[in-house]
Chains A and B, each alone.
Chain A
Amino acid sequence: QVQLRESGPGLVKPSETLSLTCTVSGGSMNNYNWNWIRQPPGKGLDWIGNIYYSGNTNYNPSLQSRVTISLDTSKNQFSLKLSSVTAADTAVYYCARENWHYGMYAFDIWGQGTEVIVSS
């Protein structure tokens, strides 16, 4: 079955760029949308943005100026870059597949999440 796994540094210094990769295994990336979501400690879920298999992206306006999501279907990966990070960006970062088949438009598969701490 399809699985997602986030990877990247667990510690990032303030003002630097957070870079994470989500590796998709067990299936193709084609014909799905690929999302990043984060969860600050003890808080709820925040959508960061997504990328369609076509390469089109959508970002949360609250982060748009600092976010880039890219896709590498040859490696079955998609990536998140968040620039100029502050302590407020400390969170568990999840990648998730958005399944629009049969009109679902729901996040049916999630990675386990990776914790990123922003600290000097």
Chain B
Amino acid sequence: DIVMTQTPLSSPVTLGQPASISCRSSQSLVHSDGNTYLSWLQQRPGQPPRLLIYKISNRFSGVPDRFSGSGAGTDFTLKISRVEAEDVGVYYCMQATQFPLTFGGGTKVEIK
């Protein structure tokens, strides 16, 4: 199985300041078709997960442009340019390159 490791576990952030979450995979997420199926999900308290980013850096419909994704191979990053109160929650990376599909352990974003 591909292990997805996220850091930090928790990220206290001041409103309006940036936040960054790292996700590292135990092996390359480059699929045989040349694509990298790494996505980012947000889970607000008491809510189901919500797709933010797919294929490393593509923002899903309706996602604010303060969210951005980057990376390649085994190292990926989700950045929030200016954290807003509604961004509080747990963020997960997920790989769909190889079965079984796997998730990172989650990073909790909270307001200082």
- Give the complex CA separation of A104 and B104 in angstroms: 19
B55 A110 Cβ-Cβ under 8 A: no
Chain B residues, Cβ within 8 Å of A111: 48
Which residues 19-67 of B have a CB within 8 angstroms of A?
35, 37, 39, 41, 48-51, 54-55, 58, 60
Chain B residues, Cβ within 8 Å of A62: 100
Chain B residues, Cβ within 8 Å of A59: 100
On A, residues with C-beta under 8 Å from B are 35, 44-47, 50, 58-62, 94, 96, 98, 103-108, 110-113
Given the interface contacts A45-B49, A112-B48, does A107 sit within 8 Å of B41 by beta carbon?
A: yes
Which of B10-18, B77-85, B91-99 forms part of the interface with chain A?
B91-99
On B, residues with C-beta under 8 Å from A are 1, 35, 37, 39, 41, 48-51, 54-55, 58, 60, 92, 94, 96, 99-106
- Give the complex CA separation of A107 and B39 in angstroms: 9
B35 A103 Cβ-Cβ under 8 A: yes
B55 A44 Cβ-Cβ under 8 A: no
A60 B100 Cβ-Cβ under 8 A: yes
The 7 A-B pairs at the shortest CB distance, nearest first, are namely: A106-B54, A110-B48, A47-B101, A106-B39, A60-B100, A45-B103, A105-B37
Chain A residue with minimal CB distance to B4? A44
A-B CB contact pairs (8 Å), 11 listed: A35-B101, A45-B49, A45-B106, A58-B100, A62-B100, A94-B49, A105-B37, A105-B55, A106-B37, A107-B94, A111-B48
- Give the complex CA separation of A62 and B101 in angstroms: 12
A58 B99 Cβ-Cβ under 8 A: yes
Give chain A nearest CB distance to B69 CB in angstroms: 11
Chain B residues, Cβ within 8 Å of A112: 48
- Give the complex CA separation of A113 and B26 in angstroms: 29
Chain A residue with minimal CB distance to B38? A106
Give chain A nearest CB distance to B103 CB in angstroms: 4
A44 B37 Cβ-Cβ under 8 A: no
